[in-house]
Structure 1
Amino acid sequence: MLPDRARIGLVEDDLVMGGSIVQRLELEGWRVTWWQSGCEAISEIAGESDSLDLVICDVCLPDVSGEVVFNELAKLPNIPPFMFVTGHGEIDQAVRLMRSGAVDFMTKPFAMDEFLRRIDAGRRTMQSQLRLNGYCLGESAGIQRAEDLLHRYAAHDLPVLITGETGSGKEVAARLLHQISSRGTEPFIAVNCAAIPAELLESEIFGHEKGAFTGAQARHLGYAERAGKGTLFLDEIGDMPLPLQAKLLRLIEDGSFHRVGGETPVVFRARIVTATHRDLAQRGGPTGFREDLYFRLAVLPIHIPPLRERSEDIDWLMDRFLQNAAARSDTCIRGFSALAREAALVHPWPGNVRELRNRVDRAVALATNEWIMPGDLFPEHASKPGGAAFVPLADVRDAAERRQIERALEETGGQIAKAAALLSISRTTLWEKMTRFGLAERVRSET
């Protein structure tokens, strides 16, 4: 029996299917509320959204579509997870709904055992449990939105394209996606397309047969084959040579490939996840990216924001990197000084999370104090003639004000008047500060 609050809302107008779903879910221990029209569901879910662990919604309803139901309820502050039931002709719409925030979709007809498994994976308590188990990327609103997408994408085998600046954590996100998916116990094979010479990349990914070229003295299994039923992660996919892009496209479309020099097709069973710091939408030209491959890879896109846009994660990441570095060292480090934390918060982090990890590793290795100081994290500041390891107080104050304003705007959904009230300042003062910190333009672009 599931916990007492384990409750599902069902929006389904088909009496036979709806009755069958309700009966099976109640046998499994769920408490089910069934609505047979979209308008009825909108009205009643709005008043009890906190008590629902999941809403299962048909896309085609007699009065309004399931998409309308979702969009209306998405305005609520604590919307329950939505899982859609669709016909084959509605898959494009279902994918669009997932990008908008739905956790899953299933096409009719479906096997009940798989349906129950997906319900259990999608319900509200699943994500919080994953975070308790350490499967999380950070605490900022931006990175948690990215995590939400990863959790929704985990139930599907469609290709995922992860974008973000160099060092922002794209491979970490790919590994998280793999861990929380049903493929988590299978291999995770990571390939950096920019680090392998172009003339060797095809053989490394697809393998080769004995005698395929000079020096090929034995059959070689490539990364695509070694991935098995796991995940093939192609990092820096934007640097893949154009001829190899065509072969990758054929692998995706046919579900098989040929080793270099081989004639027998090899079945590809892994999931493809790719990542890039480039804007692959800027296609065309001699160094461009194939448009047809781009659309096949970006079925489920996700963007990892740079560290400078998620300052709430800096402290969180520093503590975890310190813990890992200290475990590998005999140095007795108690933690970061308050000055070091303030210095980290105002640093622009051009190298993103990778730079932060490297600085913490270096500080732990070289620190002579039990507390890490600003000079340990940023020795380049102290090495300048007449320079000091301290951060100007004006920079510290500006960074703190910016963080509080961002939190207030996030809390109020970008409403200036409410954010000003939270901060106990006037709307005019808030707008002036937002303009100075470059937040005014962001609010305009989001609205």
Structure 2
Amino acid sequence: MEKILVVDDDLGIQKQLKWSFAGYEVIFAEDRASAIAQLRRFEPKVVTLDLGLPPDPANATEGMATLEEILELAPQTKVIVVTGNNDKKNALRAINLGAYDFYQKPIDSDTIQILVSRAMNLFNLEMENRHLAAVAPSMDKIIGQSESILAASRKAERIAQTDISTLLLGESGTGKEVFARSIHEHSLRKDKAFVAINCASIPENLLESELFGYEKGAFTGANKTTPGKIETAQNGTLFLDEIGDMPIGLQAKMLRFLQERVIERVGGRSEIPVDIRVICATHRDIPGMVAEQTFREDLYYRIGEISILIPPLRERNNDVVLLARTFLAQYNEEFKTKIKGFSEGAIKAMSQHKWPGNIRELQNKLKSAVIMAEGTHIQAEDLNLTFNNDALSIDTLNLREVREHAESRAIRNAYQIAERNMSRTAELLGVTRPTLYSLIDKYHMDDIKTG
């Protein structure tokens, strides 16, 4: 049975929470010392922590100290802090210290059940991800749980320690270079160079010298002998991105290199042996180009000894949210921001968007959103996305999701009808103002002003 630690010195609250958490093993503590003792003994996944603890229950000092100690001893534990209904400032401080979420009294059983269920599910998901990473760490840079991306990742993992020529296929922005680097980093050549060149970004008359290098005096401006990308990748991996854009005239020289594993610099006469692995990528229809005679058939078979199709983001189910959370953590660190997550509207907008630019588009929108967001959670407007608030998957049978959707929609409708007056909104909904504030916080509806 899943364990929850309740830290509260009020026996009435303890009894209420024990009843609310039916189905869990509930453990109690009334102060910091007993909380830490119970944490060490039972290792609960979720803790509810009243910030007003003895010996100073009127202030949050002892509660904050308990929170810091819990997170130091068990950083993966999800701590939900419980505060008075006028103590939002300390609740936000607790979030900044690392608490998972907060809840303001009076206790509402249904609401806190949802918070605990979410926290428990997140803990279990993170634990599963850590387990999978420990068991199969080889493709750790490839993020996703959809079957399509897992199939591509498994294929990449199986070929990583071979030297088989690999062709990565997929739309622009799907992460072909990430796959190429992951294959290299888990190959026998991982300690050697990974050299990438984009065949579409270099003018045709320069691409040959970029790839094969040139001898001094080979052409005007060739003032010294210069090795090419192929040579500099010696004993490592050469990544030829957008090989479908390689000029037909250069394809014959590339084919000879792949067959003989020797090169000649531009203007040179001696053959230079090269030992490298070659990974190619393209968004183009190579078989179609072969049929049109714009790509050599023999080169196609040489570079595509094995092919991996990388799916577009729109076909990866819920991977967009998983990727978004990963990028959010990266950009928080890069820009020294403290955005906590995404509002319900932002998650719906990301899920509904078709992402024609794939992962690259997602990265760009998130980067600007992290910089421009004014609240603690990114809104759909920060991402410059819109969403259909009435849309709920017909396949959704999860009662929690249905209830959350209905509650958040009702709050927004009441808020508009009440002309953004919080007292009137609470009255229309049939709840108290503190309960309304708690629901707004729970659903991260930062666009609704609670001041």
Q: Indicate the TM-score class for this superposition, using the shorter chain for normalisation.
A: 0.5 to 0.7
Partner of 2:227: 221
Residues 42-85 of structure 1 show CA distances to partners (whole Å, capped at 9, x for unaligned) of xxxxxxxxxxxxxxxxxxxxxxxxxxxxxxxxxxxxxxxxxxxx
CA contact (8 A) 2:166 2:280 kept: yes
Match status 1:176 vs 2:166: no
Q: C-alpha separation between the residues in 2 aligned to 1:143 and 1:390?
A: 25
Q: Which of 116, 141, 145 lines up with 2:151 in the alignment? A: 145
Superposed, which structure 2 residues align to 1:276-355 within 5 Å?
276-284=282-290, 288-355=294-361
* 2:397 is the alignment partner of 1:393: no
Within-5 A mapping of 1:428-439: none
Distance 1:318 1:151 in 2: 24
- Deviation per CA, 1:114-168, whole angstroms, max 9, x where unpaired? xxxxxxxxxxx99863438834332111101001111111121110000001111
Deviations 1:339-372 (A, max 9, x none): 1111100100000111111111110111111110
Percent of counterpart pairs with the same letter? 43
Structure 1 residue 399: deviation in Å?
8.4
Deviation of 1:398 (Å): 5.3
Quick check: 1:203–1:222 contact (8 Å CA) kept in 2? Answer: yes
Runs of 4+ residues over 4 Å off in structure 1: 125-128, 284-287, 398-401
Question: Residue 308 of structure 2 aligns to a residue in which SS?
Answer: strand
| CA displacement at 1:264 relative to structure 2 | 1.1
Deviations 1:3-60 (A, max 9, x none): xxxxxxxxxxxxxxxxxxxxxxxxxxxxxxxxxxxxxxxxxxxxxxxxxxxxxxxxxx
Deviation, structure 1 residue 334: 1.1
Q: 1:363 aligns with which of 353, 356, 369?
A: 369
Matched, 1:245 2:251: yes
Where structure 1 has 5 or more consecutive residues not aligned to the other structure, the ranges are 1-124, 382-388, 402-447
Contact 1:346/1:399 (<8 A) preserved: no
Deviation by residue 1:317-350 (Cα, 9 ceiling, x = unmatched): 0011111111111332111112111110010000
Distance 1:191 1:127 in 2: 30
**143-152 or 132-141, which moves further after superposition?**
132-141
Does 1:273 pair with 2:270? no
Q: Is the 8 A contact 2:165 2:304 kept in 1?
A: yes
- Measure how far apart 1:400 and its partner are: 5.8
Q: Could you tell me which residue of structure 2 aligns to residue 201 of structure 1?
A: 207
Measure the CA separation in 1 of the matches of 2:316 and 2:394.
Answer: 15
TM-score by structure 2 length?
0.57
What is the total number of aligned residue pairs between the two structures? 267
- Work out the CA distance in 2 between the residues paired with 1:284 and 1:130: 37
For the residue of structure 2 that corresponds to 1:377, the secondary structure is: coil
Whether contact under 8 Å (1:168, 1:307) holds in the other structure is yes
2:218 corresponds to which letter in structure 1? A
Q: Helix, strand or coil for the counterpart of 2:288?
A: coil
| Distance verdict in 2 for CA 1:326–1:126, change over 3 Å | closer
Secondary structure (helix, strand or coil) at the match of 2:239 reads strand
Structure 1 pair 370–165 and aligned structure 2 pair: CA distance change class (3 A): same
The verdict on how the C-alpha distance between 1:126 and 1:150 changes in structure 2, with shifts beyond 3 A counting, is farther
Question: For 1:25-44, what aligned pairs fall within 5 Å after superposition?
Answer: none
Q: Which amino acid aligns with 2:390?
A: L
Q: What does residue 236 of structure 1 align with? A: 242
Aligned to 1:436: none
Matched, 1:134 2:103: no
Code of the residue aligned with 2:328 in structure 1: it is L
Question: Is the Cα contact below 8 Å between 1:340 and 1:377 reproduced in 2?
Answer: yes
CA distances 1:375-421 after superposition (whole Å, capped 9, x unpaired): 0112xx5xxxxxxx442423x435868xxxxxxxxxxxxxxxxxxxx
Larger Rg: 2
Q: Deviation of residue 222 (structure 1)? A: 0.6
| C-alpha spacing 1:367/1:171, structure 2 compared with 1 (3 Å) | same
The code of the aligned residue for 1:282 comes to G
Amino acid at match of 1:181: S
TM-score w.r.t. the length of structure 1 is 0.57
2 CA distance for matches of 1:398 and 1:228? Answer: 54
* Kept in 2: contact 1:137–1:147 (CA 8 A): no
Residues 313, 390 of structure 1: CA spacing in aligned structure 2 closer, same or farther, 3 A cutoff? closer
Aligned-CA RMSD value? 2.1
Distance 2:380 2:133 in 1: 36
Distance 1:399 1:368 in 2: 34
Distance in structure 2 (CA, Å) of the matches to 1:301 and 1:390:
36
Asked if 1 retains the 8 angstrom alpha-carbon contact of 2:348 and 2:387, the reply is: no
**Structure 1 contact 193–201 (Cα < 8 Å) conserved:** yes
Q: 1:126 to 1:226 in 2, by over 3 A?
A: farther
Q: Contact 1:130/1:136 (CA < 8 Å) preserved in 2?
A: no
The equivalent residue for 2:170 is 164
